[in-house]
Chain A
Amino acid sequence: SQQGEEDPQALSIQEGENATMNCSYKTSINNLQWYRQNSGRGLVHLILIRSNEREKHSGRLRVTLDTSKKSSSLLITASRAADTASYFCATDKAAGNKLTFGGGTRVLVKP
């Protein structure tokens, strides 16, 4: 079963615009991670935020975490065509146990 739900399911933006996607989850977590998947291949780890952190940045990525609302958001700034992919959030209830994935957001960045 899926731990999280992602919103929106699909997103279409112009190059240069920002893309925001949200993730909600159901149980307490140790950390939350975001992954990118291109064309149904392997997942690439983007960023990890621990349960005691509220915001984290990595390059053009900004992740927030609100444990009181059991939700997270991923912001991609100044999007590029190469950012076209599916983005998944995943929760880790206990470090090293297993990841539980959301359904993903498909992002299309039009040049």
Chain B
Amino acid sequence: EAGVTQSPTHLIKTRGQQVTLRCSPISGHTSVYWYQQALGLGLQFLLWYDEGEERNRGNFPPRFSGRQFPNYSSELNVNALELEDSALYLCASRGQGPDYGYTFGSGTRLTVV
């Protein structure tokens, strides 16, 4: 069974640009979560999608947005990039039921210069 896949693995963008990160959950998982791990700030919750709907959003500005497609894959979009957006962006999916842990992808390392 394939795990959670994220693309790209690394990218470098210039301040002010826009970026799209992609995530494919484990087959059968309908929930996708996005987290930001910036140096010194720990793992911060960004967005939760389930069945194509945004279910919850972390304390991030509106220039962080996303969507979930009918096949449950997801995109995270960040507009007007700022230097402090440099971070590892992690996507996770989760199976149904209360006793399932989350399966994380390997992340996308975004560097804003």
B residues bordering A, Cβ < 8 Å?
Answer: 4, 31, 33, 35, 37, 42-43, 45, 48, 50, 55-56, 58-59, 88, 90, 92, 94, 97-107, 109
Contacts and interface: CB of A to CB of B under 8 A. Distances in A.
29 contacts: A30-B98, A31-B98, A33-B101, A33-B102, A40-B88, A40-B107, A41-B106, A42-B4, A42-B105, A42-B107, A43-B102, A43-B104, A44-B104, A45-B101, A45-B104, A47-B101, A48-B99, A48-B100, A50-B99, A88-B43, A96-B50, A96-B94, A98-B56, A99-B33, A99-B92, A100-B45, A101-B42, A101-B43, A103-B42
Contacts of B59: 1
A93 B102 CA distance: 14
Nearest to B46: A98
A95 B98 contact: yes
A2 B55 CA distance: 20
Nearest to A1: B59
Residue in B45, B58, B97, B101 whose Cβ sees the most chain A Cβ within 10 Å: B101
B99 A98 contact: no
Contacts of A90: 43
Contact of B103 (A1, A45, A97, A102): A45
Interface size on A, as a range, is 20 to 34
Contacts, number: 65
Contacts of B101: 33, 35, 45, 47-48
Given A31-B98, A48-B101, A98 B45 contact: yes
Interface in A52-111: 88, 90, 95-104
A98 B48 contact: yes
Closest 3 CB pairs of A and B: A45-B101, A95-B98, A101-B43
Greatest chain B CB density within 10 A among A31, A44, A45, A96 is at A96
A95 B94 CA distance: 10
A99 B98 contact: no
